[in-house]
């Protein structure tokens, strides 16, 4: 049977790579590509490298906050659960095996730090 850490890490890796990274990847496109998109041409057409890095940081903060608030809903509302079912069909409530589920993605050495494949692709000024 998986340990609590293994269960949380498996869930965290899915959350980060399938949700966070999928959304963060968009802002990592080159400014030239983003400004060619009709809906964003005014936003990105005059953007310099420093502004682009700031936009990436801003987007990262928004995504982190969204994950935090989404997981907070499960901590504060007992009627909703995130359940892991092991091979023996035993159900494990992720809230019960995590000290603070909402913070797992964003703490130092948390899920995003450990599992994101896109953070390393982030621009530097």
pLDDT digits (tens, 9 = 90+) for 13-33: 999 999 999 999 999 988 888
Section 90-97 average pLDDT:
95
The CA distance from 20 to 84, in Å, is 20
Query: What residues make up the domain containing 103?
Result: 4-118
User: Is residue 66 one of the residues assigned to a domain?
Assistant: yes
Average pLDDT, the chain: 93
Please name the residues in contact with 88: beta carbons below 8 A apart, sequence gap of 6 or more. Answer: 1
User: Is residue 48 one of the residues assigned to a domain?
Assistant: yes
User: Is residue 125 one of the residues assigned to a domain?
Assistant: no
What are 17's two structure tokens? 């790579």
Total domains present in the chain: 1
For 53-85, the pLDDT digits (tens) are 999 999 999 999 999 999 999 999 999 999 999
Selection from 68, 71, 113 nearest residue 95 by Cα? 71
Quote the pTM value: 0.89
104-122 core/surface letters (b: 16 or more CB in 10 A; e: else): bbbeeebbbeebbebbeee
User: Is residue 80 one of the residues assigned to a domain?
Assistant: yes
């Amino acid at each position: 049977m998986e340990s609590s850490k293994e269960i949380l890490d498996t869930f965290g890796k899915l959350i980060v790579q399938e949700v966070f990274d999928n959304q963060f990847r968009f802002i990592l496109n080159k400014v030239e590509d983003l400004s060619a998109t009709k809906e964003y041409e005014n936003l990105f057409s005059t953007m310099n490298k420093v502004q682009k890095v700031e936009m990436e940081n801003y987007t990262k903060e928004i995504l982190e906050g969204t994950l935090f608030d989404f997981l907070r809903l499960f901590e504060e509302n007992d009627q909703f659960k995130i359940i892991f079912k092991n091979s023996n069909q035993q159900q494990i409530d992720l809230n019960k095996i995590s000290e603070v589920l909402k913070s797992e993605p964003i703490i130092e050495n948390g899920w995003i730090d450990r599992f994101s494949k896109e953070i390393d692709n982030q621009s530097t000024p």
